[in-house]
Amino acid sequence: MMTAAGASMSYAFDILVAQQVYYNQSWGWGFQILLTISTQAMGFGMAGMLRRFLIWPAAMIWPGTLITTTIMDSLHNHTPSDPSKTNGWKIGRYRFFLIVGTGAFLWHWFPYAIAPFLSYVGTFPAWIAPNNLAVNQIFGGVSGLGVLPISLDWAIPTGFFLSPLQLPAFALLNLGFGGLLFLIGTVGIAFTGDKFNRYLPLISNKNYDNTGVRYNTTRIVTDDLRLNEAAYYSYSPLFIGPAFSLTYGMGFAGLISNITHVVLFYGKDIVRRCKDAKYEEPDVHLKMIRKYKE
């Protein structure tokens, strides 16, 4: 639990970075620590209050947790493999983990430091024609569409689809289809939407002004960090690229679609399980949990 909480970045960091980078605002390390702890504790607190429905029932098995428990078991299980039970496989869990972990550590130096181009192998058409706008827009892996998503860097697929190893095939296909729709939508916005889209990168998370450079936020805010409308109209409207604008729209759509999907597909099951939560027979996981104090 402690490793998982520390390994992932807190969303509060985005607030702190935006304050300092875009508004030259710093309220000190005390505020930063308290903001981070309070937001993290809020999430753990909600999980704790809902543990009767999200943790205790036998139906609540989380795929990601199963992977973590398998790794923990491998680190503590040093017994050799029994070939009669493993189709001839002789390497034990612990030894296999060390081999894969060492190999991954050594390989990661190549795409991260030694040969970064290995992360974008699928962009080779852009290497051949680096000055061709159309080729770079279609095959480019940084600001282009990257229609050949070939990479030798594990961080690239996991950045889009989390870990493909812990998701079932139908979920991966669903994600892939969503990515295809996003690609089509980005092209549609870029070439059939407002004309300014043709002067911006197809894929970029930056904000631009009317000269195509990064938007200078300090020019449109007052000393107390309020919007100065007169300065905004005299400076420039805010422009964002096709993919970034579509990301905002899909983000808002995703919030409400999550709720709609759960209600339509799992609403009856949730109601039934909530009613049965107090009376459901404890499974092996709950029996192990109850060995510890609340």
Query: pLDDT over 90 for what percent of the chain?
Result: 13
User: What are residue 221's DSSP bridge partners?
Assistant: 227
* Calpha distance 159→156 (Å, rounded): 5
Q: Which residue has the higher pLDDT, 187 or 64?
A: 187
**What integer pLDDT is reported at residue 6 of this predicted model?**
67
Q: With CA atoms as reference, report the closest residue to 156 among 100, 116, 126.
A: 116
Q: 14-23, 102-111, 135-144, 275-284: which has the minimum mean pLDDT?
A: 275-284
Helix (H) or strand (E) segment spanning residue 208 = strand 207-208
pLDDT of 203-214, one tens digit each?
888 889 998 888
The pLDDT value recorded for residue 97 is: 87
Quickly state the pLDDT bin for 99 (edges 50, 70, 90): very high
pLDDT of 34 strictly over 90 = yes
The type of residue at 99 is: I
pLDDT score, position 4? 65
pLDDT confidence of residue 277? 67
Q: How confident is the model at residue 84 (pLDDT cuts 50, 70, 90)?
A: confident
Q: Looking at residue 281, what is its pLDDT? A: 76
End-to-end CA distance of the chain: 16
The full length of the chain comes to 294
Confidence at residue 5, expressed as pLDDT on a 0 to 100 scale: 64
